[in-house]
């Protein structure tokens, strides 16, 4: 039986949540997100295995047009998705692409390397935001911010809700937008504080009500406030 929880969090926005433990010990949870676009195609942030149940739901939504690798850490299943959907555009940050050198995987776009005005085909419905080697996506017309490792909301209750695996939630229970630990983590992650401050303010200016993270529970409301709290040290 699959441990993946498949849920529609808003109309045409589906999440695929499952257990994932860093180093086999630290329970972070994993999540892919699929959105049905206005033209009937599907945009997928691919961060978990393409299991039969996951593929069946994505196929039900429509033809996959875009497969997204949001940062250098979430790249393990990009090849699997591209093989299943060879006609989809596979777009990832350059650091993730480099990890697949020598493999038979065709990438169609490289954030961080392509010209800043490059258009990939989904810009009418999404616009990507960047800082460091990470990205986040606020869909136009939706109230969601989709991101990978920019914000955590642990513990990952939904992602482990169908699992019988033993985990150690004490290791991550403090890593949420309101915690000191999260503020310290994102402050330390900013190699260029001024660039980080600029981009954090850009995201804070977007209109979103929900954050869909790869790690931890979905923040269902007041998500912009959660973002501002997590990155408070950059915004003060």
Query: d(Cα 131, Cα 2) in Å, to the nearest integer?
Result: 34
Domain chopping of the chain, boundaries: 5-112+123-235
**Model confidence, pTM:** 0.91
**pLDDT per residue rounded down to tens, the chain (236 residues):** 799 999 999 999 999 999 998 877 788 999 999 999 888 999 999 999 999 999 999 999 999 999 999 888 889 999 999 999 999 999 998 888 899 988 999 999 987 788 878 888 877 665 555 444 456 665 556 688 999 899 999 989 999 999 987 666 665 667 899 999 999 999 998 888 998 898 899 889 888 999 999 999 999 999 999 999 999 999 98
**Tokens linked to 104:** 């038979």
Question: What is the CATH topology of the domain spanning 5-112+123-235?
Answer: Metallo-beta-lactamase; Chain A (3.60.15)
Asked if 134 and 148 count as a contact pair (C-beta separation under 8 A), the reply is: yes
Residue keyed to tokens 């206005």: 38
């Amino acid at each position: 039986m699959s441990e993946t929880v498949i849920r529609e969090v808003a109309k045409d926005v589906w999440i695929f949540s499952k257990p994932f433990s860093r180093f086999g010990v630290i329970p972070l949870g994993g999540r892919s997100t699929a959105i049905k676009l206005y033209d009937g195609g599907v945009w997928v942030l691919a961060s978990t295995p393409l299991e039969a149940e996951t593929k069946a739901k994505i196929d039900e939504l429509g033809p996959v047009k875009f497969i997204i690798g949001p940062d250098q850490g979430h790249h393990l299943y990009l090849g699997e998705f591209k093989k299943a959907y060879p006609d989809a555009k596979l777009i990832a940050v350059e650091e993730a692409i480099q990890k697949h050198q020598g493999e038979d995987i065709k990438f169609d776009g490289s954030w961080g390397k392509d010209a800043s005005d490059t258009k990939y085909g989904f810009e009418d419905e999404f616009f990507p935001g960047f800082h460091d080697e990470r990205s986040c996506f606020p869909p136009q017309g939706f109230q969601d911010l989709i991101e990978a490792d920019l914000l955590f909301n642990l513990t990952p209750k939904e992602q482990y809700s169908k699992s019988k695996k033993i985990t150690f939630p004490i290791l991550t229970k403090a890593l949420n937008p309101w915690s000191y630990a999260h503020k310290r983590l994102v402050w330390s992650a900013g190699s260029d504080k001024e660039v980080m401050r600029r981009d954090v303010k850009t995201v804070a200016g977007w209109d979103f009500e929900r954050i869909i993270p790869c790690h931890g529970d979905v923040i269902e409301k007041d998500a912009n406030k959660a973002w501002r709290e997590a990155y408070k040290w950059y915004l003060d």
